[in-house]
């Protein structure tokens, strides 16, 4: 038997299977679009919502490894705590069974015969790709082409290994794996760890099953091992991350190892004492999907009530306690870039967090010129440093995001975000300038006249409202509030001209202190420019 004639087409089929899976996943991810973005909002919900989130995201991106890597990124960024991460990890194991059911569809849905359907699917997808002009057409084409390539790949692998039915030594390998659970688990874990995809590993097993090579007992232990092997990607991803992120990867490993130990014990008892004959029979592709699904759902149902103990165990092994998050740390992680749609939504959330900090600074700045409190002056300077760090980090991350394969619309969204970050950061600078003006008044022991105080507070009210509406317009994508900002900015321009004229007249008639008068005029400039930047933010919302 020429093994080279088996290995080469098998490897080629595996490559086509993985490539088809990735193309289909990318098409599904792009088609999901806004729905994928909104999924992030459930991260603040309970653990059960996390399970559903993990299952849905994994079903879309076709990789539990990628989902878990994202979870590590979320935990490392401080967006997700370990309890939320546990739920998503459990859901990811369930979502990863979708690929197996797609492959086994050739058995339980006869019309999906790869030899007939796969070439038609690829051709249809290519036609849509070449003729379709709309973005949705391209996404549908990617899904169809990926679907076809996935089936061609699995057919190529199955055809390549079919001669091995005549190889007694090769068949004996699987008999040994079925007789020795530990070897079966290690084999599944090793193959999955090498190719870093449990979906692809299950696909390989299904291609061997289609050729009639895999005993039932061997398949069960291999499937359990595959779930352990898929943890390797997340563990490697967590290297160099914070302790919390490493703990998230460890939770994934513990969850799958505990599930494997429990179900292996059940399988051993069943094959030894209940029904030994079934273990020697050959498994089908559909049965592999059933075992894979039953194992993952069963493990989740069994361990969900005690998931808190798994988290505690992981934290104890990792020697970590969740601590408070420094708000100057950018809550974005490169691991999340694996899924650009979610990375974009994470960036939006971070820009909104930065904008909230600046709104808080504005509220302090609104009073600091009149109270001259040293604590408030110092707070504004510290907040400006925080915003500078956030601005730099978000900008760097957004540039990385824009360099990925994202749609034109998403490119535009990133561009809008970059402009908003710049405007928000400039408003923070003006808040710091106001704190410096307050410091000057405090040091020289001067203050505004009663008229000057009243007029300046009027200007503050208009400009702070302008920014608040701009922030709300961005957070809610509310165009009506954006239009209100433009009205407020016009009002601020007119008020600045009026108040400047009146103040100069007071200075000329010696009705106010000269040093306080200079601060008054400088403050007017800062406030008017704050309203300008608020208008810029509103215009970005209107264009988006």
Whether residue 406 has pLDDT greater than 90 = no
281 with 402, same domain: the answer is no
Tell me what pLDDT residue 31 has: 63
Tell me what pLDDT residue 515 has: 81
Q: What is the mean pLDDT of residues 210-217?
A: 82
Whether residue 369 has pLDDT greater than 90 = no
Which of 104-113, 175-184, 234-243 reaches the highest mean pLDDT? Answer: 175-184
**CATH label of the domain that carries residue 446:** 1.20.58.220
Judge whether 181 and 261 are in contact, CB under 8 Å: no
Q: What is the mean pLDDT of residues 170-179?
A: 70
217 with 283, same domain: the answer is yes
The model's pLDDT over 48-82, given as tens digits with 9 standing for 90+, comes to 888 888 888 787 776 777 778 778 877 876 667 78
507 with 416, same domain: the answer is yes
pLDDT-based confidence at residue 96 (cuts at 50, 70, 90): confident
389 with 458, same domain: the answer is yes
Q: What is the mean pLDDT of residues 14-34?
A: 72
Q: Which one has a higher pLDDT value, 418 or 138? A: 418
Q: How many CB atoms lie within 10 A of CB 445?
A: 8
Residues whose CB is less than 8 angstroms from the CB of residue 208 and which lie 6 or more positions away in sequence, other chains included: 158, 161, 174, 214
181 with 271, same domain: the answer is yes
Residue with tokens 């604590």: 375
Q: Which one has a higher pLDDT value, 25 or 123? A: 123
Select from 451, 450, 432 the least CA-distant residue to 523: 432
In a domain, 281, yes or no: yes
In a domain, 323, yes or no: no
Residue 421 to residue 428: CA distance in whole angstroms? 11
Q: Which one has a higher pLDDT value, 255 or 449? A: 255
- Domain encompassing residue 175: 4-318
40 with 80, same domain: the answer is yes
Q: How far from 295 is each of 122, 192, 226, 268, 382, CA to CA, in Å? A: 33, 17, 11, 14, 52
Cα three-residue angle 113-116-120, rounded to 5 degrees? 120
Tell me what pLDDT residue 55 has: 86
80 with 225, same domain: the answer is yes
Task: Express as a percent the part of the chain with pLDDT over 90.
Answer: 25
Tell me what pLDDT residue 425 has: 94
Whether residue 325 has pLDDT greater than 90 = no
pLDDT-based confidence at residue 113 (cuts at 50, 70, 90): low
Please provide the average confidence, as pLDDT, over all residues in the chain: 82
358 with 243, same domain: the answer is no
pLDDT-based confidence at residue 519 (cuts at 50, 70, 90): confident
Whether residue 397 has pLDDT greater than 90 = yes
345 with 314, same domain: the answer is no
348 with 310, same domain: the answer is no
Q: What is the mean pLDDT of residues 109-120?
A: 64
Least confident of 180-184, 314-318, 393-397: 314-318
pLDDT-based confidence at residue 533 (cuts at 50, 70, 90): very high
Whether residue 109 has pLDDT greater than 70 = no
The model's pLDDT over 299-321, given as tens digits with 9 standing for 90+, comes to 999 999 998 899 889 888 877 65
Show which of 318, 349, 376 is a domain's final residue: 318
The model's pLDDT over 139-166, given as tens digits with 9 standing for 90+, comes to 788 878 887 887 787 778 767 777 766 6
Residue with tokens 């699987």: 174
Tell me what pLDDT residue 178 has: 67
Three-state helix/strand/coil letters over 203-223 = HHHHHHHHCCCCEHHHHHHHH
Q: What is the mean pLDDT of residues 329-357?
A: 85
Least confident of 210-224, 284-298, 353-367: 210-224
Q: What is the mean pLDDT of residues 417-441?
A: 92
pLDDT-based confidence at residue 35 (cuts at 50, 70, 90): low
Tell me what pLDDT residue 486 has: 92
In a domain, 332, yes or no: no
pLDDT-based confidence at residue 115 (cuts at 50, 70, 90): low
Q: How far from 478 is each of 226, 314, 355, 481, CA to CA, in Å? A: 47, 43, 16, 6
Q: Which one has a higher pLDDT value, 13 or 222? A: 222
Tell me what pLDDT residue 34 has: 55
Phi, psi for 360 (deg, rounded to 5) = -60, -40
In a domain, 327, yes or no: no
Q: What is the mean pLDDT of residues 22-34?
A: 67
Whether residue 350 has pLDDT greater than 70 = yes
Show which of 318, 348, 364 is a domain's final residue: 318
CB burial string 96-135: b at 16+ within 10 A, e below: bbbbbbbbbbbbeeeebebeebbeebbebbeebeeeeeee
The model's pLDDT over 458-513, given as tens digits with 9 standing for 90+, comes to 999 999 999 999 999 988 889 999 999 999 999 999 999 998 888 888 777 777 77
Task: Express as a percent the part of the chain with pLDDT over 70.
Answer: 88
In a domain, 185, yes or no: yes
266 with 375, same domain: the answer is no
Tell me what pLDDT residue 1 has: 57
In a domain, 397, yes or no: yes
pLDDT-based confidence at residue 171 (cuts at 50, 70, 90): low
Whether residue 41 has pLDDT greater than 70 = no
Q: How many domains are there within the chain?
A: 2
Show which of 288, 318, 348 is a domain's final residue: 318
In a domain, 10, yes or no: yes
Q: What is the mean pLDDT of residues 1-28?
A: 77
In a domain, 329, yes or no: no
pLDDT-based confidence at residue 520 (cuts at 50, 70, 90): confident
138 with 230, same domain: the answer is yes
């Amino acid at each position: 038997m020429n093994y080279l004639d088996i290995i080469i087409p098998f490897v080629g089929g595996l490559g086509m299977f993985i490539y088809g899976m990735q193309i289909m996943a990318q098409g599904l991810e792009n088609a999901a679009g806004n729905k994928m973005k909104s999924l992030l909002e459930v991260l603040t919900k309970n653990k059960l919502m996390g399970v559903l989130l993990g299952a849905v995201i994994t079903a879309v991106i076709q990789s539990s490894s990628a989902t878990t890597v994202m979870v590590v990124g979320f935990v490392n960024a401080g967006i997700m705590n370990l309890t939320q991460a546990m739920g998503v990890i459990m859901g990811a194991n369930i979502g990863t069974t979708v690929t197996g059911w797609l492959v086994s569809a050739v058995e339980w849905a006869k019309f999906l015969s790869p030899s007939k359907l796969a070439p038609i699917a690829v051709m249809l997808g290519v036609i849509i790709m070449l003729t379709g002009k709309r973005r949705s057409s391209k996404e549908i084409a990617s899904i169809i082409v990926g679907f076809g390539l996935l089936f061609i790949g699995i057919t190529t692998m199955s055809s390549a290994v079919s001669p091995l039915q005549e190889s007694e030594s090769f068949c004996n390998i699987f008999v040994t794996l079925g007789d020795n659970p530990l070897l079966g688990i290690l084999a599944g874990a090793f193959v999955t760890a090498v190719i870093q995809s449990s979906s692809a590993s299950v696909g390989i097993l299904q291609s061997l099953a289609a050729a009639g090579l895999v005993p039932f007992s061997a398949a069960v232990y291999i499937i359990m091992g595959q779930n352990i092997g898929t943890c390797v990607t997340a563990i490697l991803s967590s290297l160099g991350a914070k302790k919390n992120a490493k703990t998230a990867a460890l939770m994934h490993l513990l969850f799958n190892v505990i599930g494997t130990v429990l179900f292996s014990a059940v399988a051993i008892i069943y094959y030894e004492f209940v029904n030994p004959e079934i273990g020697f029979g050959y498994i089908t592709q559909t049965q592999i999907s059933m075992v894979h699904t039953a194992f993952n759902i069963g493990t989740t149902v069994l361990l969900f009530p005690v998931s808190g103990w798994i988290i505690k165990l992981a934290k104890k092994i990792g020697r970590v306690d969740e601590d408070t998050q420094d708000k100057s740390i950018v809550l974005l992680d490169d691991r999340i870039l694996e899924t650009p749609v979610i990375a974009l939504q994470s960036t939006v959330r971070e820009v909104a967090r930065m904008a909230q900090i600046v709104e808080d600074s504005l509220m302090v700045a609104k009073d600091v010129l009149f109270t001259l409190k040293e604590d408030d002056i110092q707070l504004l300077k510290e907040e400006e440093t925080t915003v500078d760090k956030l601005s730099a980090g978000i900008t760097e991350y957004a540039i990385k995001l824009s360099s990925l394969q994202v749609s034109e619309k998403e490119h535009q969204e990133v561009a809008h975000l970059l402009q908003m970050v710049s405007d928000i950061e400039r408003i923070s600078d003006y808040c710091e300038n106001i704190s410096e003006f307050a410091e000057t008044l405090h040091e020289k022991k001067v203050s505004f006249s009663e008229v000057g105080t009243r007029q300046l507070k009027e200007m503050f009210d208009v400009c702070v409202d302008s920014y608040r509406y701009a922030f709300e317009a961005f957070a809610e994508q509310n165009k009506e509030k954006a239009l209100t900002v433009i009205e407020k900015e016009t009002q601020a321009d007119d008020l600045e001209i009026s108040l400047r004229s009146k103040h100069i007249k007071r200075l000329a008639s010696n009705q106010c202190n000269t040093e306080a008068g200079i601060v008054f005029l400088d403050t007017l400039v800062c406030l008017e420019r704050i309203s300008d930047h608020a208008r810029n933010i509103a215009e970005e919302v209107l264009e988006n």
